[in-house]
Structure 1
């Protein structure tokens, strides 16, 4: 008998060779119908794979992320089977699950996939799913695997096989389709009840622009039609909120071929939003004891060699420019510059914690295929800061940074978030990570302690730390449920040594400070992109580029409108007059479409009573008010960032 230990600590005994699906059936028939895969001894397995030794077991359903991932991975294989039926001779590269759904890259030769083809493939997938074919795992030797794909003339799978070790190669088959795959997969295709192929795109083989462009088909599947319908509704809402579309309509930003890809131009309205965000950050940081600094956009190669960024980060930096035999790099990160500012003057323990803040401009060479509106750019303005502190001060400093995040979440109406604690991988020390195993464990424990003691929701992720220390990536969700990586909070135990940073401690001896890198509002680019989608372009009053539009009913009331405008501007309220010879209904509609928070309609009654008829974006008429009362209320709303 083998002993199976469940997540709650319960232990049951089963015959050797039993499967997770068998175990689920022994608990309840209903559970067995929901099981998609299982975690066996920490690894995700097929629910139909036999277990021969004592093991820990967690059953995975649609409710777990690993369950969804397995479901979508299996759906990618179902897509490939359907495509092979429609396009004989097709060759496949890779078909992984992604955040929402899956895709498969394929070589169709000279053939193109049309929207009509997509509908036919989707229909074929549904037919194949209803057959309820099992996903069958088969271990195969490398020699036999190579022969199989040589016979098929599939150079893509042969390329994948080059890097696989003999004895660790598996095929998966369902119906008439067989693929090279490490799995895992769901028990059978019949669990896939609702299917939608969402997009056709081009993708270079291995992501290299020099290679052949393959066809990539995206899709998503669900265990029932209701969830698919809800997802498609969310997609439609997301299209309306696409920051690229809204950014253009609202005059926030633009791209230009003569400037270059990934280098946004901030238009006047965008510059206003930037200034409002910077004011929020500067006000918050000033109260928190930060000192503001400004650093150059370029630096000598020696700075980034000292920091270690060139060996670890060079692929993401622009190539150097050379002057008088010295190489200079565009700044990809602010931290080395801030370290030099710390070192510019002697420090004692009385100066710590020492907090430096800057909205620094950085340049990163993102691959062209990864650029996406404001979300992935090559020029970014970062709400950056570095805190130099003692080990004893670390808890309070790191906690204060997290509390700053929470304050911002409240201001922007962000209700759902999680901190992702990114840890190192010990097998990659000296390659991807600084080779200081003891310091890695110590600093990871320090961060974990803060999160646990402050009851902060977090998850741990291996092999995603910064090269110089553990970090927290802040994951947030917009009002329609889209996930974003907003910002980061990092611990650095390496840079202080590299830059020979030190302060004089209480014993009058030199000591190296711990460094916290933090960027609560991330970059202007990513955060404004998020806000455009989060608010659907309807910024709160304090952030709106134009806060008030005055709508005179006719030219007779233009003088009064000008007086109202002057009063608003004197109160630092951003306002304009719609002086077009249009009917008031048209002016109201156009102002609604422009997403201006307040409209002030002025006519004969308003002039006689020294009032304005107030309309609020999305709410309509809210009644008449004296001009001074409206101004007082709006000034308070702006000040409080309501």
Structure 2
């Protein structure tokens, strides 16, 4: 035994510690029950390790808490192993696929003869609880390819993963990097109380120390999934689950799921008669019904006016173009897979446009430009089309036909910082106008390890990135780095907005582009008479109108504020003799631009009120004999509050004021 020096990092405090050779990571954290793994290694070269990892001289060691991002991933991956062990206990013939952690949970793929049903998940959960209670130890074992191939000869999918180990295809294999990676090939054994291996799996790790460290989990559902995400491969059965650091955290997560289901814009879109996706048109192509059309028009009108107030010129461009345009812009080599196939016409290939910027460049280039015109800001509601795979199309939030509130600012390099700030202020103000006021920023930059995916010089990227970073930092909002997430032509700021139940949605983007002005040979006459190249700054405030619409439906759970609500007031007569009175009120309100309907059906009053509540109408005006006699109404709010005998003029003013102020009634 000899002494070695390690550095223990805890709560950003560094403490040099002398330990003996053979000391395990867990010994540094024996008094911290929340630590389930460690980040270990030489300074700047730390990696995640099991707590059983044996420390070496000079190691820096930082505990990984179970409620941290890495800790939850380890918890969920370990739970996925317990799931697979339970499945093979019940169905010994089941073949193992992969079992990585994913956002808020995990999954594991299995090749089984019969698809899983909900009753199977109950049996599997019961078996998992027994495994957890047994307190089996996760033990890492280094092996060779040859030994692993022999040991796993009955697991064809694991054999395939071994073949991918360290190869070019491994990084592109869905989930495979969680199972195997470059370097040592490792297997994890689940060791029982008597020291016998209960179950084994090919895995890179790390894992929890024991199964008993899994505090709370639940299996959610099963579904079919192609092996490695390739539809040419065999379809396996995937079981999804979730695991959390406490029962309370699990319950909170399940409550969020219930709330998300209640707010699902696809269901509310049907219930409120807002939009649909007819099979006759095609997947991912929405049609807006009259009520949805009202909301869409109000959104468009408001945003169009706001763009004009912010100095933008409204333009319009066609839905298709010759392919040469997208070669000039640089999009075809990078985005062709997300564009619909070309159409041959009059000897040329035409593409449905997937972006508006190339056409705006042609508008800029249509005549000579002077520095006095800059910033030149062009804006349109441009319809674009993206060939999204069927597996990712999701309601309005992931469509194939979308409308972008797309703008492009052409500025001098010196004007770029101020223009980016102007755009970010515009974006954040607009989101607040629609009732979304909790957000942070993400800065997407170039991945220097994959230079072939990006164009431009190092200097171009440094200048552009610094402009965006300075503006983002100056906003005072949280800034999260996104290395490698930039578009091929430049870095971008994304506004990540949280909705009413805390989910994050990517909304607006601001992108700095030094590539397209060069490709289109855009120029302006500078003050000294020289010809110079402008900088182009892309900005989409909603991102896409469809996506923003879907997010708003879920944010408000369909109960839109009065200014956005398709029906702002529902007139409810107590009896047929009160119809004319309410129809006259409706005419007065419509003359003020308010959206009013009168329910003149044969339903009883209480059912009419209930129907208006189900349609989430902000205001109801109920009229009976006393109201007609006094020139008043019973004024009822969406939350059930009611004021009786409200004079008609006051009732109308209440609605008009709420709409004008955009208050969140």
| TM category, shorter | over 0.9
Q: Secondary structure at the match of 1:220?
A: strand
Q: How far apart, in 2, do the equivalents of 1:95 and 1:429 lie?
A: 31
> Cα gap change, 1:583/1:457 in structure 2, threshold over 3 Å: closer, same or farther?
same
Within the candidate set 545, 548, 552, 1:531 is matched to 552
SS of alignment partner, residue 126 of structure 2: helix
CA deviation after TM superposition for structure 1 residue 262, in Å: 0.9
Q: How does 1:32-51 map to 2 (within 5 A)?
A: 32-38=33-39, 40=41, 41-51=45-55
Relative to structure 1, the CA distance from residue 226 to residue 632 in structure 2 (aligned partners, 3 Å threshold; closer, same or farther) is same
CA distance in 1, matches of 2:224, 2:601: 46
- Corresponding residue for 1:158? 159
Q: 3-state SS of the aligned residue for 2:414?
A: coil
The alpha-carbon deviation at position 593 of structure 1 amounts to 0.7
TM norm structure 2: 0.91
Moved more, 560-569 or 333-342: 333-342
1:226 matched to 2:260:
no
Separation in structure 1 between the aligned mates of residue 102 and residue 651 of structure 2, nearest angstrom: 49
Match of 1:298 in 2: 320
Matched with 1:560 is 581
For residue 411 of structure 1, the aligned residue among 413, 433, 436 is 433
For normalisation by structure 1, the TM-score amounts to 0.94
Paired with 2:159 and 2:462, the residues of 1 have a C-alpha distance of: 40
Distance 1:44 1:425, change over 3 A: farther
Which of 281, 297, 312 is the aligned partner of 2:334? 312
Local SS of the residue matching 1:380: strand
Give how far 1:11 is off: 4.0
> Which residue number in structure 1 is paired with residue 422 of structure 2?
400
Q: What is the distance in 1 between the residues matched to 2:98 and 2:498? A: 29
Within the alignment, does 1:544 sit opposite 2:562 as a pair?
no
Cross-structure match for 2:170: none
Aligned to 1:194: 216
List gaps (5 residues or longer) in structure 2.
Answer: 167-181, 192-197
Which residue in the other structure is 1:207 paired with? 229
Q: Secondary structure at the match of 1:328?
A: strand
Q: Counterpart of 1:84?
A: 88
Query: CA offsets per residue over residues 348-375 of structure 1, 9 Å max, x none?
Result: 2221111111111111111111111112
In structure 2, what is the equivalent of residue 573 of structure 1? 594
RMSD of the TM alignment (CA)? 2.0
Identify the residue that residue 135 of structure 1 maps to in structure 2. 138
Aligned equivalents of 2:277, 2:255: Cα separation in 1: 30
Aligned to 1:609: 630
Give the structure 1 partner of residue 516 of structure 2: 495
Secondary structure of the structure 2 residue equivalent to 1:368: coil
1:98 maps to what in 2?
102
Q: Aligned equivalents of 1:505 and 1:46: distance in 2?
A: 62
Question: Which residue number corresponds to residue 426 of structure 1?
Answer: 448
Measure the CA separation in 2 of the matches of 1:370 and 1:385: 26
Q: 1:324 to 1:542 in 2, by over 3 A?
A: same
Please list the CA deviations of residues 392-447 of structure 1 after superposition, one character each: whole Å capped at 9, or x if unmatched.
222222122222232233233334322111122111112x2225333223322221
> How far apart are residue 185 of structure 1 and its match?
2.3
Matched, 1:174 2:190: yes
* 1:592 and 2:593 aligned: no
Task: Say whether the 8 Å CA contact 1:426–1:437 is kept in structure 2.
Answer: no
Cα distance in 2 between the residues matched to 1:328 and 1:133: 61
Could you tell me which runs of 5 or more consecutive residues in structure 1 were left unpaired when the two chains were aligned. none
Q: Which residue of 2 aligns with 1:119?
A: 122
Q: Which is worse superposed, 206-215 or 573-582? A: 206-215
State the alpha-carbon separation in 2 of the partners of residues 43 and 342 from structure 1: 50
Q: 2:176: which partner in 1?
A: none
Distance 2:410 2:135 in 1: 60
Contact 2:84 2:108 (C-alpha < 8 Å) held by counterparts: yes
Of 439, 448, 471 in structure 1, the residue corresponding to residue 492 of structure 2 is 471
User: Mean Cα displacement is larger for which, 388-397 or 403-412?
Assistant: 403-412
Q: Is 2:248 the partner of 1:243?
A: no
Contact 1:439/1:493 (<8 A) preserved? yes
1:384 counterpart residue number = 406
Is 1:184 aligned to residue 189 of structure 2? no
1:421, 1:471 within 8 Å by CA — same for their partners in 2?
yes
Question: How far did 1:331 drift?
Answer: 0.8
Q: Alpha-carbon deviation of 1:174?
A: 2.5
The Cα of 1:290 is off from its aligned counterpart by 1.0
Q: Distance in 2 between matches of 1:126 and 1:274?
A: 49
8 A Cα contact 1:62 1:68, kept in partner? yes
User: How far, CA to CA, are the matches of 2:67 and 2:375 in structure 1?
Assistant: 44
Displacement, 1:211? 2.4
The superposition leaves residues 309-341 of structure 1 with CA deviations (integer Å, 9 ceiling, x where unpaired) of 111111111111111221111111111111221
Q: Deviations over 1:231-252 (max 9, x none)?
A: 2222222211111110000011
Q: Is the 8 A contact 1:36 1:71 kept in 2?
A: no
SS across alignment from 1:271: helix
